[in-house]
Amino acid sequence: MNRNTACFFGHREIENKNELKEKIKQQIEALIVNEEIYIFLFGSKSAFDDLCYLATTELKQKYPHIQRVYVRAEYPYISEHYKNYLLESYEDTYYPQKILNSGRASYVERNYEMIDKSCVCVVYYNSEYAPKSRKSGTQIAYNYALKNKKKIINTFN
């Protein structure tokens, strides 16, 4: 675990985007200032991830030392061209080797990786959003973070 690292995960669909973005931005700034968090791990595939990325990128203007890291769940091996493309938006990117043969579970395993490497998880989780017929990826990640006693900041509340 890195004491200077936070990750983001949440539902694909979100409500009140503008209001939520400001809330996220305040939470991230508090992490930077009060807890010396400067590495932020991002996944993909959700509107929440997108909002967190926008908020963190805006704060990078004020705190240029922070790092945005894209943790890939796809494409274990990428070309230099694609890597350079990603590095236009992030300071780093990597694919966790332990998820190499995860198949459909690669996103779950990627989220576990981000949680394991973080001391704080900024999430957007509402149990009412979770499907009743199966577990959602956000629900699985949330329960994993709880089980591993991570500090969780739920921006849904």
pLDDT digits 0-9 by tens, 57-82: 999 999 999 999 999 999 999 999 99
- Bridge partners (DSSP) of residue 5 are 39
Structure tokens given for 83: 């890597």
Is the separation of the CB atoms in 13 and 48 below 8 Å? no
pTM (global) more than 0.75: yes
Span 79-120, pLDDT tens digits: 999 999 999 999 999 999 999 988 889 999 999 999 999 999
Q: What is the pLDDT of residue 106?
A: 93
Beta strands in the chain (DSSP E): 5-10, 39-42, 67-71, 92-94, 120-124, 151-154
For the chain, list the domains and their CATH numbers.
5-154 (3.40.50.450)
Span 19-66, pLDDT tens digits: 999 999 999 999 999 999 999 999 987 889 999 999 999 999 999 999
